[in-house]
Structure formats: structure tokens, C-alpha cells
Amino acid sequence: MNRFKTTVLLSLLTVLLVMMGGALGGQGGMLIAFVMAAVMNFGSYWFSDKIVLRMYNAQEVTRADNPAFYDMIKRLADRAGLPMPKVYIIPDQSPNAFATGRNPEHAAVAATEGILRILSPEELEGVMAHELAHVKNRDILVSTIAATFAGAISMIGSMLQWGAMLGAGRGDDEEGGGIGGLVGSLAMAIIAPIAAMLIQMAVSRSREYLADATGAEICGKPLALAGALAKLQNASQMIPMDDQRPATAHLFIVNPLTGGGLASLFSTHPPMEERIARLRAMR
């Protein structure tokens, strides 16, 4: 069901992009915006592992450095049918973890010092299985595709805004001119990028549910992962990350950013209570 939701949401982004291209008045502007967004997002996709690991000062560890943690990752990767990823530890006391890399052959998993400290071995195994599930499901690629479409829509929205302002002086008898055309173009330019962002966030939330389910299957302990999420929800609020970056929030198992109400619509993570309930139902 979560895979189906992702397909539907990406299809909606495609339709929205085509509509925006039509509003722009031709395929040329749509193509330029799409290519620019693709170059930016796939550039970050190709180098995502190096960028985000350096951003959080993650330190690579070998079996000699931390045999228990390293062997846990190796055991889970074997169960998932994945190559052994690179293993990193982030020097931060806020409990969290993430996975990155453009494909299973170039993957990395990282955990903070805080998460290694507060979770039991079974709970930590559930968390790292969740991260390997992101690798197995190629979620970095999916999120990059969603970001590319949303970015192209945002660029076209900017083009429409400038076009509407520059065309504001046209007469009412000109095709597409007048106050009605101006208002319509501005409405499309403002509403469509917001809609694209909401869809992009919905894609991210759907992939989190899928990673929870796949991770529970990999480790075979859905209740352990549920217990870990409950602990992480409370502990991450008590000990926030030293360097919170909205651009990378979607990577972490627990959203390092706080917010509720309308902010939850733009959240990259689904409600923790729902995630825990679904995992407990897998028992």
C-alpha cells in the first residue's frame, strides 16, 4: 500500500508539472525548469553520502573500533540481502540515525553516540534494520525524484510570477491579459508550488512507513523497533541535535526538527504514535 501511495503521489507531481508547463505557455520553459531541477537534485543524489556525512562530522568505524555495532550491521545486511554498507558514528548526544548513499553498493548507515547510549541491543537492531530498509527500498532515489519534480514546479511558479508582473500592463482584449489573466497566473504560481511541497512531504512520510515495515521484517522484531521509536521520540526532544538542518531532516529515523499543527503537513515524518501502532499490529 505504501508503494502504491508513492506511485500515486509521484504521478500527481507529474500531472502538476505538466499543468504548470501548460500555464507557462509552452514546453520550453517546463523543460528548462525540469533540467535545472534534475541537475541540482541528482548532483546532490550522486554525492549524498559524502555531503551529509561530512555535514554531521560522522566518523567511519571498522570492526576493530566497535565490533558489537559493526557485527550487528553485518548481520542485518546479510538478512536483507544487501552488501555491507559503510558504518559511521556521529559525535552528537541526541539519539538518532540515518542511511544515505545512491544505491546499495554505495550505502552508508550512521548512528549518533546518543542512540548507542540509550537503546538496548534489540532496540538498536530494530533502528538499524529500519535504516537498511531505506537502502533496500532505494528511498534516496525516490526522494530525489520527488524533489526534482517539486523543484521544477517551484521554478516554473517563479517564472509565472515574473510573467504575470511583467504582463500586468497588457490590455483586457489581449489573449491571457487583463486582471483575470494576471490573477489566474499568480494563483497558479503560488498554489502549485505549495501543493508540490505537500505532495513531496507525503512521499517522504509514506517511505517512512514502508521502512518501518521492511525494517521490522529484516530484524524480525517489530516490537523492539516500536519500543525504540517511543524512546527516541522523548529523548530527541529532551536532547535536540546540536546542528539541525531542515534539508537533511528527512534522512533521520526521528525528525530532528520540532513542530505541530499546520507544520505537520510539511513534516517529512508521519506521526510517531501511528508508526508505533502499525509496528505493534505486526506482532
pLDDT tens track for 38-92: 776 677 677 777 888 998 999 999 999 999 999 999 999 999 999 999 999 999 9
- pLDDT above 50: residue 169: no
Phi/psi of residue 59, nearest 5 degrees = -110, 125
Residue 216 confidence (pLDDT) above 80:
yes
pLDDT of residue 14: 77
- On whether the CB atoms of residues 102 and 124 are closer than 8 A, the answer is no
Asked if residue 3 has pLDDT above 70, the reply is yes
Report whether 20 contacts 153 (CB < 8 A). yes
Average pLDDT score over residue span 94-122: 94
Which of 123-127, 204-208, 231-235: highest mean pLDDT?
123-127
Task: Record the cell numbers describing residue 118, joined without a space.
Answer: 540509550
Q: Average pLDDT of 136-148? A: 85
Higher per-residue confidence, 60 vs 101? 60
Judged by average pLDDT, the poorest of 3-7, 50-54, 55-59, 173-177 is 173-177
Q: Please, which contacts does 59-66 make with residues 24 or more away whose CB atoms are closer than 8 Å?
A: 59/88, 59/89, 59/90, 59/91, 60/86, 60/87, 60/88, 61/87, 61/88, 61/89, 62/87
pLDDT band at 190 (very low <50, low <70, confident <90, very high): confident
Please say if the pLDDT value at position 186 is more than 80. no
Cα(42)–Cα(266) distance, integer angstroms: 22
pLDDT of res. 208: 95
Look at residue 168 in the predicted model and tell me its pLDDT. Answer: 47
Q: What pLDDT, on a 0 to 100 scale, did the predictor assign at position 172?
A: 46
Segment 211-219 mean pLDDT: 96
Does the annotation count 131 as an active-site position?
yes
> Residue 184: which pLDDT band, with cuts at 50, 70 and 90?
low
pLDDT: is 251 or 86 the higher one?
86
Q: What is the mean pLDDT of the chain?
A: 83
Whether residue 259 has pLDDT greater than 80: no
pLDDT at 226: 97
Task: Kindly report whether the global pTM for this prediction surpasses the value 0.75.
Answer: yes
pLDDT of 69: 97
| pLDDT mean over 18-26 | 68
Selected catalytic residue, list 60, 123, 125, 131: 131
Which is higher by pLDDT, 234 or 23?
A: 234
Distances (CA, A) of 79 to 56, 132, 215: 28, 10, 11
What are the angstrom distances between the C-alpha of 264 and each of 141, 190, 259?
23, 20, 7
Percent of the chain with pLDDT over 90: 44
The three cell numbers locating residue 34: 525540469
* Contact (Cβ atoms closer than 8 angstroms) between residue 251 and residue 130: no
